[in-house]
Amino acid sequence: MNKIVNIIKPTGMTSHDVVSAVRKILNTKKVGHTGTLDPDASGVLPICIGKATKVSELILNKDKSYICELTLGITTDTYDSSGEILEKVDNFSFTKDEIEKAFDTQRGHINQLPPMYSALKVNGKRMCDLVRSGRADEINLKTRPVHIKELNILSIRDDKIMFYVKCSKGTYVRSICYDIGKILGCGGHMSFLLRTSSGKFNLENGITLEELKEYNDNNTLDNYLYDIDYVLTNFNKIKIHENAEKYYINGGIIDERRFTEKDFNENDEFVRVYSSKEFIGIGKLIRKNNTISVKSDKLFIV
């Protein structure tokens, strides 16, 4: 099986737990997730199976969106409700305009400081593991550029602010909560997180682990599986002659005289490559001496 399934992760499970559950349900070994979702968070977690694991990085690079709850007045070491309380402020009050101004600082292209308790690696070790083992002094935190494309307040109720965010890869929503709390001067932490989309996958086209087992048992799972090229539609496409397929798969360079269809732009570097029968993989376009050729970059068939 070389497919992608969009699992709606429940709270309390790690992303690796979900991968293990999918392996067991589908009785297959080659399974991978497309970006860690915190144990306390729930929502969209696309899972790649078989050769589809080759596109996991491409899905990871896509924008993601979340609905989050920020609780003001309590700062934790993990920036979420699972951590130890570092500071608590009881008396504070803000106008909606003051809160909006704090949110304004998190919109657009910003430099974000990731949480110490994160899966980012330092010298091959996850930062959260270093902190838990008393080796936090080995970590030199640096800001990272991220893009907050949308950040909309949904509701404000007492010390709770619910908001929607759409952001680039590498963004920590926990850090948004921490930074807003710091700007307001009362502190804050992330008390709820639901991932609503990851690239083309969303809550509407996802299934739970229980549904995965049910559909697999009753042979209807195909209705909920996605082909590899579903996530590659940002690449234009070419189709090569059936007689050129074997040569291409073995590393050969195919020139445009053996393209049976072509749909790409002059600035395209990579394209989806198809034979007359099926999707083959991602190819790299080579332009030389006024001719265009294609060479395999990633193969998805044997």
Pair (220, 169) in one structural domain: no
Q: Give the domain CATH number at 263.
A: 2.30.130.10
The three-state (H, E, C) secondary structure of 3-41, written as one string? CEEEEEECCCCCHHHHHHHHHHHHCCCCEEECCCCCCCC
Pair (48, 155) in one structural domain: no
Pair (257, 222) in one structural domain: no
Pair (172, 140) in one structural domain: yes
Pair (51, 70) in one structural domain: no
pLDDT of 113 reads 86
Pair (68, 185) in one structural domain: yes
Pair (122, 29) in one structural domain: no
Which token pair is 148?
């907050």
Give the span between the Cα atoms of 285 and 300, in whole angstroms: 17
31: containing domain: 4-62+200-228
* Strands 42-49 and 188-198, bridge-based pairing: parallel
pLDDT in tens, 83-95: 899 999 998 999 9
Strand partners of residue 272: 237, 282
pLDDT of 128 reads 67
Closest CA to 282 of 293, 296, 264, 268: 296
Model pTM? Answer: 0.86
Mean pLDDT in residue range 263-292 = 87
Asked if residue 302 has pLDDT above 60, the reply is: no
The one catalytic residue in 38, 40, 179, 229 is: 38
Pair (88, 183) in one structural domain: yes
Question: Number of structural domains, the chain?
Answer: 3
38 is catalytic: yes
* Strands 31-33 and 42-49, bridge-based pairing: antiparallel
Q: Give the domain CATH number at 26.
A: 3.30.2350.10
Pair (58, 68) in one structural domain: no
pLDDT in tens, 128-139: 666 677 766 665
Pair (124, 99) in one structural domain: yes
Pair (183, 74) in one structural domain: yes
pLDDT of 271 reads 92
Pair (73, 115) in one structural domain: yes
pLDDT more than 70, % of the chain? 92
